[in-house]
């Protein structure tokens, strides 16, 4: 047994280590390919500890998704709190969070990447986005704002695919242009 397995950890530390390891491995190979022994090893705990906290792979994946969505919600709430409100409030926060330079370990990357290939995760992401759009319908239920969100998703996907940056607008310029579109009067 490795030293990692002998180190005492609190239940919260163990749970956090398992969630982080599963998210990291999910990015690398997709959640469908993630094995429970690999997650336990990456987290430095036993498989028994993993089963104690999550019960099954399905329980672990659901917990990882919930955790990532909680992180995304926290980022969005921070961006929403810095916004002046009104037309396009949620869309501006969505654009800002998507363009934030967080790298591959971002909760946005972790969940979005997996949702592309896993129908169950896609459904979770869809329910989350539908809930957010419902909550912000008064300010963000306009077709032009949907176009901005879809363009933002396209930017994210282009980065994921490592498209040649020379063929696209500079991220800062695109970010500014998309934000500007969220500030136009809704009657336009």
Lowest-confidence region among 4-8, 70-74, 145-149: 4-8
pLDDT at 102 over 70: no
State mean pLDDT over 61-79: 90
pLDDT at 34 over 90: no
pLDDT at 170 over 90: no
Q: Which fold has domain 1-55?
A: Arc Repressor Mutant, subunit A (1.10.10)
Q: What is the mean pLDDT of the chain?
A: 85
Is this prediction's pTM over 0.85?
no
Domain locations along the chain: 1-55, 65-188
Q: What does the DSSP assignment read for the chain?
A: --HHHHS---HHHHHHHHHHHHHHHHHHH-GGG--HHHHHHHHTS-HHHHHHHHSSHHHHHHHHHHHHHHHHHHHHHHHHHTS--STTHHHHHHHHHHHS---TTSHHHHHHHHHHH-HHHHHHHHHHHHHHHHHTHHHH--HHHHHHHHHHHHHHHHHHTT--GGGS--HHHHHHHHHHHTTS-TT-
pLDDT at 60 over 50: yes
Residue predicted with more confidence, 101 or 23: 23
pLDDT of residue 158: 81
State mean pLDDT over 89-102: 89
């Amino acid at each position: 047994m490795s030293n990692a397995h002998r180190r005492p950890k609190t239940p919260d530390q163990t749970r956090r280590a398992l969630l982080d390891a599963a998210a990291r491995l999910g990015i690398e190979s997709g959640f469908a390919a993630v094995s429970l022994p690999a997650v336990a090893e990456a987290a430095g705990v036993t498989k028994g500890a993993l089963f104690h906290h999550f019960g099954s792979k399905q329980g672990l994946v659901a917990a990882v998704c919930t955790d990532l969505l909680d992180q995304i919600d926290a980022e969005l709430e921070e961006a929403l709190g810095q916004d002046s409100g009104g037309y396009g409030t949620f869309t501006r926060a969505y654009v800002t969070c998507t363009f934030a330079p967080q790298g591959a370990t971002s909760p946005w990357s972790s969940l979005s990447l997996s949702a592309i290939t896993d129908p169950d995760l896609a459904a979770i992401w869809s329910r989350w986005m539908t809930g957010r759009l419902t909550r912000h319908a008064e300010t963000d239920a306009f077709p032009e704002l949907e176009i901005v969100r879809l363009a933002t998703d396209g930017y994210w996907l282009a980065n994921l695919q490592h498209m040649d940056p020379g063929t696209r607008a500079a991220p800062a310029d695109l970010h500014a242009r998309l934000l500007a579109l969220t500030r136009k009067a809704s009657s336009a």
